[in-house]
Amino acid sequence: MTGMGRWLAVSSELPCAVVALLLVGQIVGSSIAGPSGATWGALLGAVFGFLFGVYSVFVTIRYFDRLDIQSKRKTTYMPPMEEILEDVRFDLDDTSSDETDDS
C-alpha cells in the first residue's frame, strides 16, 4: 500500500489531460468557427489530450521505474586502507582500574 499514491496520481493524468484539452479545443474551435467549430475543436482536443496523456503516463512510469532501480541498488561501504590498517586500542582496562582506585 505504500506505493499506491504515486500509481493513483499516474492513473489520473490521462483523464485529466483528455478533459482539459477537450475543453480548450471546444473553446478555441467555437471562437474560430462557431458551433460546428466547437464540435471539431472538442474532438481534436480530446485526441490531442489522449496522446499527451499517454505520453505523460509513459514518462512518469519510466521515471518511477528508474527510482525503484536506484533504490534497490545496494551500496556498499569500503573504508579507506588507513582505517583498515589502523591499530585499535580499547580503553576498557583503563576504566576498570580507575574505578578500583576510587574505592
Q: Does residue 1 have a pLDDT over 70?
A: no
Look at 20-29, 42-51, 63-72, 90-99 and tell me which has the smallest mean pLDDT.
Answer: 90-99
Cβ atoms of 22 and 46 closer than 8 Å: yes
Please tell me the distance from the alpha carbon of residue 35 to that of residue 55, in angstroms, as a whole number.
30
Q: Does residue 92 have a pLDDT over 90?
A: no
Measured between alpha carbons, how far apart are the two ends of the chain, in Å?
59
Q: Does residue 94 have a pLDDT over 70?
A: no
User: How many CB atoms are located within 10 Å of the residue 49 CB?
Assistant: 22
Look at 3-7, 66-70, 74-78 and tell me which has the smallest mean pLDDT.
Answer: 3-7
Secondary element (H or E) of residue 23: helix 4-72
The whole-number pLDDT of residue 3 equals 65
Residue ranges covered by each domain of the chain: 4-102
